[in-house]
Amino acid sequence: MSTEWERLKSDAEHALTYGNNAEAEVLWRRAVKLAEAFPKGDPRLALSLDRLGDICYQDKRYREAEPLFRRSLSLREATLGFEHPDVATSLNHLFALCYIQEKFDEAEPLARRILTLYRKAFGESHEYVAACLHNLAKLEHARGNYTEAEPLFIQSLKMTQTSLGEDCPEAGRILNDQAVYFVDTDRLEEAELLFRRSLQIREGALGPAHPEVVNTLSNLGSLYRDMGRNYEAEPIFRRLLNIAEKALGPNHPDMAINILNLAKTLQSERKYLEAAPLFQRYLAIQEKHFAKDDPALVETLQNLAQAYLEEKNFVSAEPLLKRALAIQELHYGPKNPVVGTQLNHLAALYYETGRHEEAEQLLLRAIANLQKLKEGKDPAYEKTLVDYLKHLEAIFRAQNKLAEAEECLENLITAQERILGEYHPDIAESLTNLAMVFQSQAHYQQAQKLLRRALIISEHSFGAEHPEIGAPLSRLAEVLQLQNRHNEALPLWQRLVAVYEKALGPKHPDVANVLDKLVELYRYGNDLPQAESLAQRALAIRESAYGPEHQDVGLTLNELAMLNFEQKKYKKAIPLFERAAENLKASLGVKHSEVALAVNRLATLHFRLGNFEEAEPLFKEALAIYEKKEDASSSQMSSAFENLIEMYRDQRKIEKAEATGKKYLALRIKMLGPDHPKVAVCLKMLADIYCDQGKFDMAEPLYKQSIDIQTKHNQDNQVLAETLDQYSLVQRKLGQKPTQSKRK
């Protein structure tokens, strides 16, 4: 029987060596059964119970492990006495079991009894005593007794390194656990140093892929991510994923945490295309172990959807958000406040895709769901309400529901002031948005008042030279410009340039964006040389920041070319327009409206210079883009048609002028209807072409129709005056008595 027990023990230990816990458990159960028949006091029964309990502990079957450990302890105490070192083995098992289940009050007396036993058996400085001190340190840390924990960590580390050496694995464990303690006490720089030292020891003693090395790597990666140092966390989590894949295979359940850590890190770095497939892998692993409607899936669905949203992949994001919402509604009920989070996320997607009415309904529902929190005086109520109101007011503004947006923003500001105080930067943002609502209604004085308050708050929060003052300062300048108070707006823009230059550097793209505003002001004031100089600087900044092929470079080239055109610097303007057109074709596509604008301007320049052969194909290219867009109200399309017709008339290419005029008229009637004022302009233009050919009988009804439309729409301008004059002339040519038209 003794030989059989020894064989079972040997086979069980061999099975454990190869990670076959199930087989080892069967063998140890047989060993326990065999040892039950041994004489009373035989140590093999206690040992068998200990080993079987340890397997249950490793498999997280704590309820099964506890009676095995307690019986082993009882046997050893009865046989060896309460102070024998082997009794401490069973006590250690019970301590570990209580600790992992967070039964700290039960764990403490066990730890202190073990310490007393080891001190008596081995002396004050033995490695076992150091291990006990380490366990006590972890226990006090877990209980939140930080003052008691730190000296225990220090004492256990010193004792361990004295007895076992500076670089022993036990020292690595203590350093790792003390670093975790430093993280919890917000001593992050100290934690980093200890994690690095622990990693160095553990890698040297145990190898690069040992579970204890993995533990410290995971802790260090999480620390870097929490500190915002994602670029340092990423390679650590990639290494951990690689280690886990080699050890477990790509689809093992224990892979999940490594996949999730790397995915979240990449998401924090805005590497959404890399994060998305990792979230998909994590979700696939979860779905194998949870039901398809389990709430545990919600966070992953949200993370994956967010990765898609950031890449504007709305088609992939929407079903994920809907699924997350359905899970929440199923488990908590559609009116539960918890559901509001998913309603908010889905509303954000609808907002981004222009489905504003659907977004509005979801957010109104989310706010209604908060009533339970409000009634229960839950502190989360107002904070959550503020988040929802922020999104709702943006949706109202997007729909031009200005009254609703105004009321929503006023409620938002009131709630923010109550929660955050009067000088919080979030209030400055809300005040700025409310000012935009008033600006949209031309209530400029109210908008100014709000923006000045927002600026004061921003200066109070960040300082007068911080770039965060940019939003209220720029909006204030814009409101002043809308009132033609350009002299007051100018120093605000100049101040903002100085702020950005100092905080961000003179070559930052935000500097170029403000320079654009100054260009606009100087152009309005007819200081074209100064406007050109600033535009050249904006161009240089963008070329340096983005490279010569970026679309913002093309747009700046277009404006710089136009400034030269306006100054009659035609030789400088032509190559700038040509470069702008080529840039925008490459960066935005050949059919983009900005391409049409650059090409149309270049065509107009050639036309003014008499370069008709160069101008004609350019006008046609621009018109082909505008016609495709079907934007008949576009002033640029109008100028392209009208300049092309004028050019044909100047060249006496009357047939081409007539064909283009008919096309222009047909397009405007199709898109705007037959009675639109812009149709009246086309009718007059075609009638003028008929007059060029002496076709007065064809011109006469077109002039009359144009006059009727203009009169109907109360037009009283130069176009109507010219049309009336031409109509009278044609009537005389046809031998008719000129019609007397009463101008309004």
Note whether residue 575 is domain-resident.
no
What per-residue confidence (pLDDT) applies to 743?
A: 47
CA 706, CA 699: separation in Å to the nearest integer?
11
Using alpha carbons only, give the angle 587, 589, 595 rounded to the nearest 5 degrees. Answer: 90
CA 594, CA 576: separation in Å to the nearest integer?
14
The single residue listed with the structure tokens 């036993």 is 117
pTM for this model (two decimals): 0.65
Note whether residue 531 is domain-resident.
no
According to DSSP H, which parts of 211-255 are helical?
211-226, 230-248
Nearest to 394 by CA among 423, 436, 438: 436
CA 433, CA 451: separation in Å to the nearest integer?
9
Q: Give SS3 for 351.
A: helix
CB atoms within 10 A of CB 276: 24
- Here the CATH number for the domain that contains residue 56 is 1.25.40.10
Q: Could you tell me the two tokens for 263?
A: 């995915």
Nearest to 323 by CA among 336, 304, 350, 337: 304
Note whether residue 164 is domain-resident.
no
CB atoms within 10 A of CB 250: 12
CB atoms within 10 A of CB 598: 29
CA 649, CA 636: separation in Å to the nearest integer?
20
Q: Could you tell me the two tokens for 627?
A: 């016609």
Note whether residue 336 is domain-resident.
no
CA 91, CA 102: separation in Å to the nearest integer?
16
The single residue listed with the structure tokens 């040997």 is 10
Cβ pair 423, 384 in contact under 8 A: no
Nearest to 166 by CA among 207, 121, 200, 118: 200
Instruction: Give Cα separations from 36 to 39, 45, 293, 429 (angstroms).
Output: 8, 6, 48, 75
Condensed to tens digits (0 to 9), the pLDDT of residues 457-472 reads 999 999 999 999 999 9
CB atoms within 10 A of CB 338: 14
DSSP 8-class letter at 295: G
CA 335, CA 356: separation in Å to the nearest integer?
22
DSSP 8-class letter at 508: -
CA 515, CA 215: separation in Å to the nearest integer?
52
CA 314, CA 372: separation in Å to the nearest integer?
32
Nearest to 621 by CA among 600, 638, 605: 600
Cβ pair 24, 16 in contact under 8 A: yes
Q: Give SS3 for 621.
A: helix
Q: Could you tell me the two tokens for 731?
A: 């009537």
The single residue listed with the structure tokens 């450990």 is 69
What per-residue confidence (pLDDT) applies to 744?
A: 43
Instruction: Give Cα separations from 9 to 3, 6, 20, 59 (angstroms).
Output: 10, 5, 14, 19
3-state helix, strand, coil in the chain (%, to 5): 80, 0, 20
Note whether residue 106 is domain-resident.
yes
Cβ pair 236, 217 in contact under 8 A: yes
Identify the segments of the chain with pLDDT beneath 50. 742-744
What per-residue confidence (pLDDT) applies to 251?
A: 73
Residue 154: CB partners within 8 Å, gap ≥ 6? Answer: none
Tally of domains within the chain: 1
Nearest to 157 by CA among 184, 183, 129: 129
Note whether residue 117 is domain-resident.
yes
CA 14, CA 4: separation in Å to the nearest integer?
15
- At position 656, the amino acid (one-letter code) is K
Residue 238: CB partners within 8 Å, gap ≥ 6? Answer: 262
CA 386, CA 383: separation in Å to the nearest integer?
5
The single residue listed with the structure tokens 């050893």 is 76
Note whether residue 24 is domain-resident.
yes
**What sign does the CA torsion over 306, 307, 310, 312 have?**
negative
Q: Give SS3 for 230.
A: helix
Residue 729: CB partners within 8 Å, gap ≥ 6? Answer: none
What range does the domain containing 15 cover?
Answer: 1-122
Q: What H or E segment, with its residue span, contains residue 724?
A: helix 718-733
Nearest to 378 by CA among 418, 415, 337: 337
Residue 445: CB partners within 8 Å, gap ≥ 6? Answer: none
Residue 624: CB partners within 8 Å, gap ≥ 6? Answer: none
Note whether residue 78 is domain-resident.
yes
Q: Could you tell me the two tokens for 612?
A: 């008709």
Nearest to 16 by CA among 65, 55, 73: 55
